[in-house]
Amino acid sequence: MDFPIAGLAAVFAGVFSNPLEVIKIRMQLQGELQARGHHPVHYRNVFHASYVIAKHDGILALQAGLTPALWFQFFLNTFRLGGYDYVCRKGYTKNEKGETVFYKSVLAGGLAGNVGAFIASPFFLVKTHLQGQAAEQIAFGYQHHHSSMLDAFKKIFREHGIRGLYRGSTSAIPRSFLGFINCTTYIYISNP
């Protein structure tokens, strides 16, 4: 039961954080592959970006990529938090006396985070594609022109196969490992 609860908690948070992700992606793509000062600046700051995106793409564009973002959060956190809890309950993070061993706890947390990040990686890729799509007047870089999450999965798979869906997943693994080490350290310090 812990697996789905962990995933659902992250899904609810994802609804509220997704507009900020859209703005972040758009601001990161602004001026992509162009020299500084040689591209238009459509987004001056977070508030201006919100306004520009809503004006050109519609208010719902601030939730672009929401479906894959929520699936990403669900799978990432289901396996990350649920997996860590499972390993702890099985006693793999404890010594012979039943005491939690810090390095075992950190290793278990990092590995659980890696599994979650790898499994969820295709959803993150599609989320980023959808969040970067913009109206022609404010578009930067390559536009993928996916009509939905399923359309994106089909196009990516058709063109690049299963490896295309997992493009960049290996770079998410060290990040996830380090991120979950922070959580595990907190849990260990709070409940020695």
Instruction: List domains and CATH numbers for the chain.
Output: 2-190 (1.50.40.10)
Per-residue pLDDT of the chain (192 residues; tens, 9 = 90+): 566 776 777 788 889 999 999 999 999 888 776 677 777 888 899 999 999 999 999 999 999 999 999 999 888 888 888 888 888 889 998 999 988 888 888 888 888 888 989 999 999 999 999 999 988 888 877 889 999 999 999 999 999 999 999 998 888 888 777 776 666 565 656 665
DSSP code per residue over the chain: -HHHHHHHHHHHHHHHHHHHHHHHHHHHHTTTTS-TTSS----SSHHHHHHHHHHHH-GGGGGTTHHHHHHHHHHHHHHHHHHHHHHHHTTTTB-TTSPBPHHHHHHHHHHHHHHHHHHHHHHHHHHHHHHH---GGG--S-----SSHHHHHHHHHHHHHHHHHTTTHHHHHHHHHHHHHHHHHHHHHH--
